[in-house]
Amino acid sequence: MPRSSSYQAAPRTPALGDGFFEVATPAKFPALTLRVRNQPWAERLGLGTLSDEEWLAHFARFAPLPDNLPAPLALGYHGHQFGQYNPALGDGRGFLYAQLRDPVDGRLLDLGTKGSGTTRWSRGHDGRLTLKGGVREVLATEMLEALGVYTSKSFSLVETHEQLQRSDEPSPTRSSVLVRLSHSHVRFGSFQRLAYQKDSARLRQLVEFSIENYYPSLAGADDPIYALFRAVCHRAATLAASWMASGFVHGVLNTDNMNITGESFDYGPYRFLPRYDLKFTAAYFDSSGLYAYGRQPEAVVWNLLRFAEALSSLCPMDQLRLALIDWEARYLRAFHLAFLERLGVTSRDPVHDSLLVSRALCFLQECELGFDRLFFDWYGGLPSEARALAGTAGPLYRGARWDGVRALLGEHAPAHAERLSDAYFARTQPTSLIIDELEALWAPIAARDDWSLFYAKLDEIRALARLYGRAPA
């Protein structure tokens, strides 16, 4: 592999030793076709000069990167799934492939997989990922990042040319292997597993590892257990707020799907809101609406309490609960700021911000306006009024229901007035990713291997990201 000064191998997880992971063997696939290559992040990490064949060797055949993990590691964890504790979890179709140091900010980065074959935790499943599932995850990560959600990145997607049987989509269906780039594979369930095993020594070791590698500012804290939990609570509040402002419904907010860095990841039956609906669910099997859009903050707090229980052999539960006293206030403030950022207007103060967001949500609940449409029509506030009134939703912005929102919106100046001349606002529709669009993007791939709409959608989402000032790496 061509060397670059930006490439900084940092295999840190092996230092944890036995009891945290198992060495995994990658699957051998019949054939490989590269579908997505995240070139901006590859260049940032010193991997940008890899040829496509070298890329496939590392991110589909999983030949070790230089000075990195000599073999992939499948990580063990437990978790509450839809409220029920499951001790039979762990990396069943993925593994930790490599770890790098980000040359820009110095943070530890993990390259992890999905669909890379069976491990000791596969529980009789095939360890594979459908191509449709890989396509959906790429789109999710791109859209969430464009909307300001702290998310894992889709680093690579390779079609693997196997025929998979699945009960939830027409079979046989095509297969893929995905490589994610993220800031941690340490889940709430990683701690739950050790607590369940009553392994206090390894539990403390994992806390120390987490502080050293992910929260170095907490080194030397008087009470490192409480300090770590409080920091994770703060990040989880910001994450939940960003999901809500982006109209995102994760679908499976189990404790094994939350990590300690506050990074969103693992996109299965996700959805984006077509309209503002607190009861909207993503997973067809979530019959009770446990993880409905409006219940996501509640689910995050419930998961944090399970994390606290896992730490309670090291720090009293009553003390850990203190970290959640201000959680709702932090969440609400973060939500209001994220909402205003997406709307492209400045913050005034907590009271005025809260009034505007609350009134806008009431308006969305009372009318049939699409969730994404509001932010598109009124980006920048009142300077966009003529464009909003001339658009397809213009009639909804006339009358008493909207007048109250308009009055409050007029108190907030545009945050980036220069963006209003962007070509994005010459469109007739906002960039969105509701389920009908996802299915429309997949249909030509499934029918005739036509990827043109998919790649066009990625370009469209990345244009939205640029509009919001979010660089691809």
The set of catalytic residues is 256
Instruction: Indicate the DSSP class of residue 75.
Output: E
- Short-list 222, 3, 227, 12, CA closest to 107: 12
Which backbone phi and psi does 130 adopt, to 5 degrees? Answer: -70, 155
Which backbone phi and psi does 23 adopt, to 5 degrees? Answer: -65, 135
Query: What is the DSSP track for 52-89?
Result: HHHHHHHHTS-PPPTTS-SS-EEEP--EEETTEEETT-
Cα separation, 382 vs 353, whole angstroms: 16
Q: What are the structure tokens assigned to 287, written together?
A: 């019959």
Find where tokens 């590269």 sit.
Answer: 34
Find where tokens 């994390």 sit.
Answer: 307
Contact 171, 278 (CB under 8 A): no
Chain mean position to CA 73: 22
Contacts of 135 (CB under 8 A, 6+ apart): 35, 157, 176, 441, 442, 445, 454
Alpha-helix runs per DSSP H in 344-434 = 350-366, 371-377, 385-390, 400-409
Cα separation, 33 vs 41, whole angstroms: 20
- Short-list 355, 335, 337, CA closest to 345: 337
Find where tokens 């449409």 sit.
Answer: 373
Contact 175, 164 (CB under 8 A): yes
Cα separation, 255 vs 233, whole angstroms: 13
First to last CA, the chain: 22
Q: What are the structure tokens assigned to 411, written together?
A: 């108190």
- Short-list 348, 467, 356, 354, CA closest to 418: 467
